[in-house]
Amino acid sequence: MWDRFGNTFSNLGEPGVWGSRIQTLSEAVEAKQLLFSEPGKFSHYTHRKHLAGKTVEGSGVRSMCGVYFVPSQDRGALPTCSTCEEMYSLLPKE
């Protein structure tokens, strides 16, 4: 879910998502399991705040369509996510 305040957009977690995600990760840590992520199939739109830092650190971000991914510098190598593109087109332009 994306929230707008003035001309600033930020992503908010849906109720219960963070707790569920933390529980899943905690269970994997306790079981000493390594969780694998599926490589991205699409290039997603996300909030640009701290994006450069996240790219360098290899930290995950949430896209406009709700997918979590680790941004890379080669975003042109994948086709653009149609859901993200549609949601971006609905945002007010300055």
Nearest to 2 by CA among 44, 47, 40, 42: 47
Element of type H or E holding 62? strand 61-62
Q: Which pLDDT value is given to residue 1?
A: 47
Per-residue pLDDT tens, the chain, 94 aa: give them. 455 555 555 555 566 666 777 788 889 889 998 876 666 788 888 888 878 888 888 888 888 888 888 887 677 788 898 998 998 888 887 6
Q: Which pLDDT value is given to residue 30?
A: 92
**Encoded amino acid at 76, one letter:** G
